[in-house]
């Protein structure tokens, strides 16, 4: 297993952790909020909403814009 594989495995583990949290969040009585609820809470102010949407817009810009 070389360093490339280790790095990719790290990303995969983080993604798996996120998916695991989302699954746990949907269990009855869970204290973990769903990702939708976290976003909704974060976007309850204008600064939060603009920040999140600007990050999304920047992501598209990063991958496609000159």
Partner 1 sequence: MTEPDPVGSIGNEAAGRRGDELSGHDETQRAFLTTAREPILIAIFLLAGIFDLLSGDPIVHGAALFAIAGALAFDATIGRREEPTARPAVVRPALSPTLVVLAVAYAVFIGSFARYSWPSSLAVVAVGAAGVAIAWRRPIGPDPDPTLLDPAGTMAWVGVFVVLALWELSALLLQPSLTTASQAHPTISTLMDPVLATHLGRSITLVLWLAFGWFLVDP
Interface ranges with partner 1 (CB under 8 A): 2-4, 7-8, 10-11, 14, 17-18, 21, 25, 30-33, 35-54, 56-66
Smallest gap from Cβ 28 to partner 1, in A, equals 14
Q: By C-beta, is 28 or 57 nearer to partner 1?
A: 57
DSSP 18: H
Residue pair 4/11 in contact by the 8 Å Cβ criterion = no
Smallest gap from Cβ 30 to partner 1, in A, equals 7
With H, G, I as helix, E, B as strand and everything else as coil, classify residue 6: helix
Q: Look up tokens 């990702």; give the residue.
A: 35
């Amino acid at each position: 297993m070389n360093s490339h594989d280790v790095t990719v495995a790290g990303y995969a583990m983080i993604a798996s952790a996120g998916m695991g949290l989302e699954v746990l969040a949907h269990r009855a009585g869970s204290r973990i909020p769903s990702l939708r609820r976290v976003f909704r809470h974060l976007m309850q102010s204008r600064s939060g909403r603009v920040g999140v949407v600007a990050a999304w817009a920047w992501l598209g810009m990063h991958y496609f814009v000159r």
